[in-house]
Amino acid sequence: NNNNNNNNVDNRPTQQQVVKQMARLLRRNRMSKVIPIPKARVPIVKFIEPETGIECDICVNNLLAVENTSLLRKYSEIDPRLKELVILIKHWSKCRGVNGAFKGTLSSYAYVIMVIHLLQTIQPAILPCLQDDHQYIPTVDKEVDGWECRYVGETERFEGFGASNKLTTAELLYQFFYYWGYRHNYKSSVISMRLGDWLTKGEKGWMTRTKGDNHLICIEDPFQISNDLGRVVGRKTIFYLRDEFKRSADILANSRDPIRSGLFAVLSEEEKEKKMKEFADEVEEKRRRRKSVEKDHKDKKQQQGQRTLKS
C-alpha cells in the first residue's frame, strides 16, 4: 500500500504541467487572451472571460494565497476607504499600463499592499497592523507551506479605528501618488505591511540584484517575508513607473478636473512602447556616462602611477 501511495504521489502532475493543461482547456472553451505563465514563482494562467471582459488568474494549490486573501479581506472590513482606493488604483494602473508582474511592472496584489501600508503609516492612522502581536493577541495562528501566518482575524474591535483621520478617498489617492512619486526612498527603503512600518534593504538582504530579483522598489510580502513583490520591476520599468506616479500626483495637485486632465487616460500599446524606449535609452545613456567616468578615473590613476615610478 505504501508503495502504491508513493507511486501516486510521484505520478501527480507538477503545477507547471497543470497550468499548461488548464490553458489548453480554456482555449478549447473559447476563453480569450489565454496566457499560461508556468515559470512564475507561483505558476498561473491568465485569461479574459469574453462575455463580461473580466480578467482572471488561476493558480494551483497555492494555499498561502488563500491566507493572504483572508488577511486582505479583514483589512477591507475596517475602513471603506481601503476598498475605494484599491479600486481606483487598480483601474489607474491598467489604464496607464503599469499593472502586471509578468510585464515587469507591479501586480494588483502589490498595489493592495502598498495602499494598506499607506493607510497604516499616515497620521493619524486609518488602519491598524493586524500582524502586530506585541499590541494585539492574534486569533489566527497557523503555519502554511512553511510560513507563519499570525494575525487578528476578528476586526469588530477596530470599528471606527480611522475615524479621526478625515481625509477623503480622493485626498488619499493624491497622498498615494505623491508618496510613491516624490517621497519614497527607492535606494534604501522597504515597505512592510506586516510591521506597519519601513525596513531597510540592508535588513532584508535586498541590496543587490540576485537570481533575477531586482529590488528596485521593495514591497515585503506579509507572510512569505523573503518575497519582494517589486522584484520583477527592472531598470527600464522603474523609471516608467515612477514617472507615472509623479504624473498622477501632479494632475491631482494642479487640475480642477483630474479625469478630464487625463488621470485615467488609456495608453495605447504604441505609446507604452515609445515611453519604455525613451526610458531604456535614458538608462543606456546613464550607463555609458558612468563607464566613461570610470574609464577616465582609471586612466588618471594609471598616469599618476607612472609618474610616481619615473620620479
Q: Please write the tens of the pLDDT for every residue from 67-108.
A: 999 999 999 999 999 999 999 999 999 999 999 876 789 999
Per-residue pLDDT at 11 = 74
- DSSP, residue by residue, the chain: -HHHHHHHHHHSPPHHHHHHHHHHHHHHTT-EEEEEETTSSS-EEEEEETTTTEEEEEESS-HHHHHHHHHHHHHHTT-HHHHHHHHHHHHHHHHTT-B-GGGTSB-HHHHHHHHHHHHHHSSS-SS--TT-TTTS--SEEEEETTEEEEE---GGGGTTTTTT----HHHHHHHHHHIIIII--TTTEEEETTTTEEEEHHHHT-SS-BTTB--SSEEE-SSSTT-BTTTT--HHHHHHHHHHHHHHHHHHHH-SSTTTTTTTPPPPHHHHHHHHHHHHHHHHHHHHHHHHHHHHHHHHHHHHHHHHHH-
Per-residue pLDDT at 284 = 79
Contact 242, 181 (CB under 8 A): yes
Give the strands of the sheet with 44-49, arranged side by side. 32-37, 44-49, 54-59
The 10s digit of each residue's pLDDT in 144-190 is 999 999 999 999 999 999 999 999 999 999 999 999 999 999 999 99
Per-residue pLDDT at 135 = 94
C-alpha cell of 175?
497622498
C-alpha cell of 60?
494551483
**CA dihedral for 130, 134, 139, 140, sign (positive or negative):** positive
Burial (Cβ within 10 Å: 0-12, 13-18, ≥19) of residue 267: middle
Per-residue pLDDT at 1 = 58
Per-residue pLDDT at 297 = 80
pLDDT < 70: residue spans in the chain: 1-10, 102, 310-311
CA distance 44 to 57: 6
Per-residue pLDDT at 82 = 98
Residues paired with residue 55 on neighbouring β-strands, in sequence order? 48
Per-residue pLDDT at 41 = 77
pTM of the model: 0.84
Distance of CA 311 to the CA centre of its chain: 58
**CA dihedral for 127, 130, 132, 136, sign (positive or negative):** positive
Contact 42, 55 (CB under 8 A): no
